Structure 1
Amino acid sequence: MTDGQSSPPVISHTPKKSRDQPKDSPQRPTKLAKINGEDFSDDEREKEEREVIEKDMNHLPPNPRIQRYLVAIEYIGTKFSGAQQQSTGRTVVGVLEEAFHKFIGQPVPVFCSSRTDAGVHALSNVCHVDVERKSKRKPNEVLPPHEPSVVRRAVNHFLQKNEGDIKVVDVRCVPGDFHARYRAQERTYFYRLLSGKEPLSTFEKDQAWHVPEELNLLAMQKACQVLVGCHDFSSFRAAACQAKSPIRTLEELNVTEVASSPYFPSIQEREPNNSGEEVSQGFGIRKRHRCLVVTARARSFLYHQVRLLVGVLKAVGTGDLTVSDVERILDAKNVSAASPMAPACGLFLGHVKYDFPSD
């Protein structure tokens, strides 16, 4: 928090028995939850797809000549049509595959852990790619795999010749059956809101949602307590969502106030005024916005779930909704009950957590 206030407590999922959570599991359903007469689990679709991949891989003999790399990337999503490869439009995967092709001299597929939408940014998205290092002088000769640091430098070399809005931040070697998407244990998203009447700074363009109204931080934090935990999030998934089950376990949903970025100390902060008189901003000095960050953490999310959650929290912050309204929206189990979803520009994929095998 700014202005010397203490940071609010993190609102995270504390398992408890409720009508939304089965009694025989403290964290997520072990038995299938019944919805409209059908049985679904929290991430049943994820499990089914993962089982298909593992079954296919069990029939393939290991290839010691191929090294699988886990690649963490950061990017500004403004000029991307999304992370996933598409028939048209510039995508994160497409740009990465082009860079790897130039690096190793042959096309390779790239698989992303999280399919961010157009305009959504990433502090750290994770992909995996399989590379067979062949000699350029003797194409039939296979060489030992590249060190991760070499992969990082080489791929970044080719990425910087593109738009300069994507970069590899980390690389590590993983076993051939380590899948970036299906081995992910947890995903954390951040959403930035800038509150204040002042027009948005050029430096913040496409990096946050500008809310002219004052936001009630305490009310937004109380609303988070309603939404955290295991629920049917049908009211918080877009109509195009292909997930088999609307049930998700939101491990953390929290709102904090942070210093706006970029942050430079004003003359008042460099030279505190002890007279008690209000000091003018001065000509050419931009007024600062309040910056609120929503943190959402879960193993997996529904399509547009985070942006729909932020849309409701913002409405609570402006006073258009109450905490009781949030309960009503959640119980409605229909996206038409929710507020308009937040724009993509303020959303950042912050971190993807893995349980790595022992080296």
Structure 2
Amino acid sequence: MRIALGIEYDGTDFLGWQRLSHGNTVQGALEAALSKVAAQPVEVTCAGRTDAGVHGRCQVVHFDVPVEREMRGWLQGATSNLPRSVAVLWAQPVADEFHARFSARSRRYRYTILNRPMRAALDARYVTWERQPLDAARMHAAAQALVGENDFSAFRAVSCQAAHPRRCVLAVGVRREGEQVIVEIEANAFLHHMVRNIVGSLLPVGRGEQPMAWMAELLAGRNREVAGPTAPSTGLTFIGPRYEVHWGLPAEVSQS
């Protein structure tokens, strides 16, 4: 039987999603919890791996098990064996052809910037602090140059292991909500550090240090060395993937 789960997590205290032999990861914690419910080893496949410190609003995974449990058992049993920073949101059986990674049509990220003179206290784990005033409208206008299928080498980490740098950005938006500036981006897939590198380049535009045309120039130049620095992992949340509706997954991860 193949089962899909929706997972929420605070990534602050993890070394990222992917299982490692030398530290705590979200995948490691989830597989340990599911293995207790199944009474045998369980391995999961996720929609998109996240780095150390990055959060997940609705990560989707799938796994195969020969044992039968009620969906409530996977949901509550796994969550009760997980650290408080990780929870299973939903569980349901899926077709054997479903694949959490390869069936996803797109993925969505949100980056939250606290834009005020003083740093955060209550929200420090979930925002990046920028004390200088940001013009969200300028950032939004500049970011539209990224929409479409392009070579994103200018926003690709040196350590990226992707086969090629071309990705298709479906939508990108920047808006202000009170003291927060929020960057949201949806693409078919992402390169390593792509969102954080895009945000790191949008910040100088928002501060007025670079013109709005700078993002288009960086994209065309394909040179990571002249783009902005990588923004901190704090503030980045993987909102989740989107799948075609025929898979029957919850609305939050299904294409509208």
Pairwise TM-score range, normalised by the shorter structure: over 0.9
Secondary structure class of the residue paired with 1:189: strand
- Candidates 347, 356, 359, aligned match of 2:236: 347
- Candidates 149, 163, 185, aligned match of 1:244: 163
Q: Equivalences for 1:6-25 in 2 at 5 Å?
A: none
CA shift, 1:171, in A, is 1.1
Residue 166 (structure 1) aligns with: 86
- Using a 3 Å threshold, how does the CA distance of structure 1 residues 358 and 96 change in structure 2: closer, same or farther? closer
Q: Tell me which amino acid in the other structure corresponds to 1:91.
A: T
Secondary structure class of the residue paired with 1:323: coil
- Asked if residue 89 in structure 1 is aligned to residue 55 in structure 2, the reply is no
Residue 323 (structure 1) aligns with: 212
**Structure 2, unpaired ranges of 5+:** 249-256
Structure with greater proportional strand content: 2
Q: Distance in 1 between matches of 2:204 and 2:92?
A: 42
Secondary structure class of the residue paired with 2:164: coil
- Using a 3 Å threshold, how does the CA distance of structure 1 residues 120 and 358 change in structure 2: closer, same or farther? closer
CA shift, 1:356, in A, is 4.8
Q: Distance in 1 between matches of 2:72 and 2:36?
A: 17
Does the Cα contact within 8 Å between 2:98 and 2:247 map onto a contact in 1?
no
Q: Equivalences for 1:265-304 in 2 at 5 Å?
A: 290-304=179-193
Secondary structure class of the residue paired with 2:220: helix
Does the Cα contact within 8 Å between 1:84 and 1:112 map onto a contact in 2?
no
Q: Tell me which amino acid in the other structure corresponds to 1:348.
A: T
Q: Distance in 2 between matches of 1:258 and 1:166?
A: 27
Q: Distance in 2 between matches of 1:256 and 1:100?
A: 39
Identity rate, percent? 35
CA shift, 1:358, in A, is 6.0
Does the Cα contact within 8 Å between 1:186 and 1:298 map onto a contact in 2?
yes
- Using a 3 Å threshold, how does the CA distance of structure 1 residues 120 and 255 change in structure 2: closer, same or farther? same
Secondary structure class of the residue paired with 1:184: coil
User: What is the root-mean-square deviation in Å for CA atoms of aligned residues?
Assistant: 1.3
Secondary structure class of the residue paired with 1:107: coil
- Asked if residue 72 in structure 1 is aligned to residue 6 in structure 2, the reply is yes
Q: Equivalences for 1:209-224 in 2 at 5 Å?
A: 209-224=128-143
- Candidates 29, 34, 40, aligned match of 1:106: 40
Q: Distance in 2 between matches of 1:120 and 1:247?
A: 23
Residue 253 (structure 1) aligns with: 172
Does the Cα contact within 8 Å between 1:125 and 1:351 map onto a contact in 2?
yes
Q: Distance in 2 between matches of 1:178 and 1:306?
A: 27
**Structure 1, unpaired ranges of 5+:** 1-66, 134-144, 260-289
- The ranges of structure 1 where at least 4 consecutive aligned residues each deviate by more than 4 angstroms after the TM superposition are none
